[in-house]
Structure 1
Amino acid sequence: MNVKRGSTTFLKVIIFLAGIAVLAMCIWLPQIAVKDARVHPDTAYFVIPFLVCTYGFCIAFSVALYQAYKLLTYIEKNNAFSELSFKSLKIIKKCAFTVIILILIAIVSLRVLAIVTVSDDAAGPTSLCLMGILATSIFAAIVDTLQKPLKNALDIK
């Protein structure tokens, strides 16, 4: 097995493990939300925006993982500079922007929850959300940087 195949196989395993983690989160998330709603019945209606944002994040992240898996398959088959690779990178970038929008919606929900329940402070979760936006923005910038030379190579062909 050559080095390129070994590294793409390693990355595929990492993508698969990340997919399992997302699936586990989707399975246990409703149970956690119901427990929290029972403990805090006065703010139970905030579970719905939280679940919408979280499941939207999971769907966008899963689509991005699938496209990354497909991209690694194209690389293994020496089709790295193809239209299919370009489309995969484009979808991954759209998923990154979707995640950013969903995180912004989560920040707004957190801030509203902090205003409604005067005793709660949303500074910690808000800062974590902003760090998530920063990480996703960096990822989107990397994908955009990879997409530009690929587009130039496709235009030359």
Structure 2
Amino acid sequence: MNVRRGSTTFLKVIIFLIGIAVFALCIFLLPEAARRDAIERPGDYSLYPLLVCAYGICITFSIALYQVFKLLTYIEKNNAFSELSLQCLKVIKKCAFTIIFFILLAIVYLRVHAQFTGDDAAGPISLSLMGILATSIIAAIVDVLQKPLKNFPDIKSKND
């Protein structure tokens, strides 16, 4: 096994483990949080908009993980500079912007909810802003990776 295949296999395993963690979050942790909140505060549905945002982020993140997995498969097969790789990068970038959108929705909800309840939402909002920063860095990296692929001769000749 050569070095490239070993490193891509390692990255695939890491992505698979992250995917399992996201799946566990969606199946076990988020419903349990909703159940506990329903028991503690019956009739209060203030957690549900945040759950919608959390599920939206998890689903979008899972799609992006799948695209990264596909991209690593193309790299293993020496198809790194192909139209398929470019498509994967485009989907990953769209997923990053969708995640940013869901985080912004959660921030707006937290801010409005804090206005009405008098709670201090500075902590969750600052964590959300850090998530936006991390996601925008990933989107910028994907954009930088897309530029050489767009200019690669094989892809350019197919697009003409």
TM-score w.r.t. structure 2 length?
0.93
Query: Match of 2:150?
Result: 151
Give 3-state SS (helix, strand or coil) of 1:46's partner: coil
Q: Give per-residue Cα distances to partners, 1:52-80, cap 9 Å, x unaligned.
A: 10111011000000000000000000000
Give the share of equivalent positions with the same residue, in percent: 71
Structure 2 residue 130 is the aligned partner of structure 1 residue 131: yes
Distance 2:131 2:81 in 1: 30
Contact 1:37 1:47 in 2 (8 A): no
How many residues are matched?
Answer: 155
Runs (5+) with no aligned partner, structure 2: none
AA of the residue aligned to 1:144: D
Structure 2 residue 60 is the aligned partner of structure 1 residue 57: no
Query: Match of 1:31?
Result: 32
After TM superposition, give the deviation of residue 142 of structure 1 in Å: 0.1
Distance 1:11 1:40 in 2: 43
CA 1:116–1:41 in structure 2 vs 1: closer, same or farther (change >3 Å)? farther
RMSD: 1.2
Distance 2:77 2:38 in 1: 49
Runs of 4+ in 1 over 6 A off after TM superposition: none
AA of the residue aligned to 2:32: Q
Structure 2 residue 4 is the aligned partner of structure 1 residue 4: yes
Runs (5+) with no aligned partner, structure 1: none
Query: Match of 2:102?
Result: 102
Q: Which moved more, 1:32-41 or 1:99-108?
A: 32-41
After TM superposition, give the deviation of residue 24 of structure 1 in Å: 0.5
Query: Match of 1:86?
Result: 86
Q: How does 1:37-48 map to 2 (within 5 A)?
A: 37-41=38-42, 44-48=44-48
Q: How does 1:103-118 map to 2 (within 5 A)?
A: 103-118=103-118
Q: Which moved more, 1:138-147 or 1:108-117?
A: 108-117
After TM superposition, give the deviation of residue 156 of structure 1 in Å: 5.5
After TM superposition, give the deviation of residue 33 of structure 1 in Å: 1.5
TM-score w.r.t. structure 1 length?
0.94
Query: Match of 1:69?
Result: 69
